Amino acid sequence: MNHPTPIDIGGVRFEWGARTYVMGILNVTPDSFSGDGLLDAAEVADRALRMVDAGADLLDIGAESTRPDHDPIDAEAEYLRLAAPLRAVRRAVEVPITVDTSKAEVAARAFEAGADALNDVHGLRSDPELAPLLARTGKPAVVMHNQRGRTFGGNLIADVRAGLKASMALAHGAGVPRDRLIVDPGFGFGWGPVQNLEMLRRLDDLRGLGRPVLLGTSRKSTIGHVLDRPEQERRWGTAATLALAVRSGVDIVRVHDVEEMTQVVRMADAVVRGWPPEA
């Protein structure tokens, strides 16, 4: 199988196909769906250090909730919430940091404060200034397909692929090289449990986009629906989705529980890709 060209993120080279990388989630919000939001910069930095020690390859920090019923905030409020924790995390760790935002103003200021890449749950489709910003700065980006507010065309993967192609076209039109993009199918963003489970079954169908794939299933409501468990009791369900994701060749998994999920990913990688890993 031909794998996408490696991407340098924050001075770290990510070799797609070599293994599945683990992204740790840092929420600096008071209304995180999983109840893990922190606002104190020192606490966020401490959590970041523990995540890296537990095996996180990169960290994703966001200051606005993306749950369906969240209260939107403007760019100034979002960055004020983000600034001190981001700087504290940047001082504390050397792994790459992505900023989880859909606002160009927030992303630009976050890049200046030490973020290495963008993670946009709207796939560059909500702020027309984001793609030009990426072109100017040369920063890589995760672009997600977000089904919220969109009409279902009858074929889940076709809709996801169309959305991701639209995001990639926006990036290309602004001058962002294709090989700076990572795609995310948007598990849980506008899909119900049955559709989310179908997405997991059909992850292989996204390989044709030719881009590395990131997946975020951690603690999400579909797991709660299947297992009848609250957010804090969804580790085992998350673990099952990650093992399946590794089997499907997913390149990055975005998780809350880094220590446990790193073990799941490494074990699944050993089965799927072989062990011991090549030097």
Helix axes 104-112, 75-92, angle to 10 degrees: 30
pLDDT on residue 36 = 58
pLDDT on residue 65 = 81
pLDDT at 32 over 60: no
E-strand ranges in 94-218 read 97-100, 117-120, 141-144, 181-184, 214-215
Section 166-177 average pLDDT: 98
What secondary structure, in 3-state letters, does 21-57 show? EEEEEEECCCCCCCCCCCCCHHHHHHHHHHHHHHCCC
Q: 68 vs 182, which has greater pLDDT?
A: 182
pLDDT at 1 over 80: no
pLDDT in tens, 193-252: 999 999 999 999 999 999 999 999 999 999 999 999 999 999 999 999 999 999 999 999
Q: How confident is the model at residue 277 (pLDDT cuts 50, 70, 90)?
A: confident
pLDDT on residue 151 = 92
pLDDT in tens, 62-119: 999 877 766 789 999 999 999 999 999 999 999 999 999 999 999 999 999 999 999 9
Section 175-196 average pLDDT: 97
Rounded mean pLDDT of the chain? 94
Domains parsed from the chain with CATH numbers:
7-273 (3.20.20.20)
| Residue 31 phi, psi (nearest 5) | -125, 35
pLDDT on residue 112 = 98
pLDDT in tens, 249-275: 999 999 999 999 999 999 999 999 999
The one catalytic residue in 19, 139, 161, 254 is 254
pLDDT on residue 71 = 74
Q: How confident is the model at residue 276 (pLDDT cuts 50, 70, 90)?
A: confident
pLDDT on residue 39 = 72
The one catalytic residue in 220, 234, 235, 273 is 220
Is 254 annotated in the active site? yes
What secondary structure, in 3-state letters, does 219-231 show? CCHHHHHHHCCCH
pLDDT on residue 138 = 98
